Structures are given as structure tokens and as C-alpha cells.
Amino acid sequence: MSSDDYSVSQPAGGGFEHHAPRQRPRHARTATAKSDPTGGLEPAGDAGKARGDRRVRAARTPKTEVSADVPNSETAADPEVRLDLAPLALPLPADRFLNRELSWLDFNARVLTLAEDPTTPLLERAKFLAIFANNLDEFYMVRVAGLMRRLQTGLPVEGPDGLTPREQLARIGTRTAELMDRHSATFADVEPLLAGEGVHIVRWADLDQPERERLRTYFREQIFPVLTPLAVDPAHPFPYISGLSLNLAVVVRDPDSGPELFARIKVPANVPRFVSVNAAVRSGVDSGARGVCFLPLEELIAAHLGQLFSGMQIIEHHVFRVTRNADVELDDDRDEDLLQALERELARRRFGPPVRLEVASTISSNVLDLLVRELDMDSEHVVRVPGLLCGCHGGQRVYGRRVAPVAHPAA
């Protein structure tokens, strides 16, 4: 500490009076500490003089100053010395935030991984396939629908991750296509394993004559009365396709001279998705060597299209499904009555715009172009599904008590 830090006065009675040292400003102490490792303290005697000479010589010799924010032993020991340690500012990475929608798809991919795991019980794998499909439906009905609505408003605001709604939709489409391929491949692996345990998902061509006769009777009594084919022509516009409903796109033609016509048949939801083939299964007894057999409902309807379009030639038929916007919008400033707002939104979302079109991989380009045009959709929102479309939906019929031991085998 230098002599300027002390105030000395001589009182009238003689002698000297020492006052307390004056407190230096913080910036002055900091500057001294940075220039002098001793913290500004002047040692007495020849040592202080020698050190002062070294400081003078160092001041005369220009050199590059290398500063460090770590205090040395002398400054750390002196309580009067305080260093300004500035935090090290590093640029943050641009990809430090995860996208919410892509992160949700990663979560659903983990559900699919459980279905792919061969150590998972067999029917549990089938259940995880159904859970994955149901989750993806809700994801498109709410999350993807919100992104599409934001894009249509003309305000493509970037999210915290730096992605615009259009970029998010493009990445969602790519990621969803990968997951759907894995889902179809896993279902193709699980199906023969189920057959090995006596649970068969068959096609109409696999049935013998007695089984077909029983199913014809079942179709005539239970299915035919609830079917309503709707044809499209200049006098009949394209029908409304309800969300998540399974439909058959049928192309028919008059064998005499008429042009080709498009018709739509809605697969009814008030009958089981998989129809029991075995007559003994309905009575709860499995006496056949084939085990339990189930036929997809759309296969049964497609086998009887001649009864629905009498006198017409069936050119082709394909299965498709539409997912619509089901997001609920509530405005606190506009909606004073919450009950009325919910009733209005629930009635509106039944007619929400389509956000996804699932088609069989074997669909023809003509039928697909007609569906995309009439539904007013973009081609990037079309998902081609190999194999059985919605094969895991309605699987509770398969997971019944008659085949429950497959799900939980004995240790």
C-alpha cells in the first residue's frame, strides 16, 4: 500500500494523528492488480527498490500482453485484491433445440421397436403394432394438421429449432415413410409366426368351398344390408369420405358401351374388422386343424362386388383411407361458453380438411390421381402401404380369450 493511502495530520497539542487508510475505488484496485502482481503493495528496503526498478525497465520495453483471468498466489492471498473474471462466451450451436414433432416420431419409433423385438411375446408384438398405428393416426390428426393450418395461413414462422412449417412437413413425411416400411415389414414377420401358433389371417383365395359358402351367407345377412355404393358421374359429385374410415375404390364399366365409372364403398365400422372363418370358432370350440382363421372385412366385400354392381363389369378395386384434421381450436377472447365452444368444434372436426391419404401399394395411377384431385390434397401427403392396409386396426378380435395363451406363454 502506498503512502497516498494514509492521511496524516498534526493536531494543535503536538504529535501526529493517523487516520484509517482511504478505500480505493474498485476499478483502481483492479487496474493495479492487473499491472502489479503484488496488488499495489510497496515492499520496504532494497527489495522494494529493486522491484520498482524492474517495473520501470519493463514499462520501457514494449511487449505483447498476455492476460489470464486466473489469479496467482499473491493476488489470491490478498483480500484487498479483486479480479474481474469475465465469463467465457462461446457461440451456441444452431441445432441445440429438438423439433417437437420429429421428437414425437422418435418416441413412436421406440414403440415400434418393442414390436420388432423377437423376445417380446407374440401377441404383444401384434398389440404394439396396433398401438403404433393408432398413435400415428392421432399424430396426423392433431400435430400435422396444426402445421398444415399454420402453413395455409401464410405465416410460416420458424420454431425454436429454426425449421419452418413446410420444412417440418417435409421431414415428417420422410420419417413417416421409413416408419411405415418398418411397420409393414414387422407385420409381415409376425403374421407367419401367428399362423404357426394357430392364428391365421387368410385371404379369400385361401378358403375352401364350405368356408366360402358360410361366408356368403354371413355377407348376405350381416354385411350387404349396411353397404351403400356411391358412384361418381356428372350428376353425382364425389362423395364425402369420413376420417379414419376404410373404403374401397371401385372402377366399373357398362359391358355394352358405357364409359368407366368410379364408385366408393365404405367398409362398415359396426361389424368386426376381421371375420371369423371357422364355424366352430363362433361356438367357442376350436376343433379344426387350421386353428383360428380370420378374413379381413374388405376382402369379403371385394369378393361380392358383383352383387353390389349388378350387370356392371368390375375393372379394378383398391383400399384407401383418409385422415382428417381433428384438432380442437378454442379462442378465449371469442368463446365465452366453453361447453358451446366444444360442441361447435366437435361438430366441425368431423368435416375437417384431409391431412393424409393411405392407399394400397398396388393402386393404379389413374385411381390415385382421381383421389388426390377430388380430395384436394398434395402428392407428398400420400402414403403407400405395402401389404394389408390397416392390418393392425381392429385386432382386438384376434387378441381375444381364445388365443390369449399365445400372448403370455408359460416360462
* In contact, 194 and 126? CB cutoff 8 Å: yes
pLDDT tens digits, residue range 318-360? Answer: 999 999 998 777 666 665 677 777 777 777 777 888 999 999 9
Per the CB < 8 A criterion, the answer to whether 190 and 398 are in contact is no
Give me the phi and psi of 121, to 5 degrees please. -50, 150
pTM reported for the whole predicted model: 0.70
At the topology level of CATH, where does 100-329+337-407 sit?
Answer: polyphosphate kinase like (3.30.1840)
Q: How far apart are CA 97 and CA 168, in angstroms?
A: 14
What cell does 195 get? 399362423
pLDDT given at position 110: 97
Region of poorest pLDDT, from 176-190, 229-243, 265-279, 330-344: 330-344
Cα angle, residue 360 at apex, residues 310 and 191 outer, rounded to 5°: 105
Neighbours of 345 (CB within 10 A): 16
* 28 three-class SS: helix
Residue 67 pLDDT > 60? no
Q: In the chain, which segments carry CATH 3.30.1840.10?
A: 100-329+337-407
* Predicted local confidence at residue 301, as pLDDT: 96
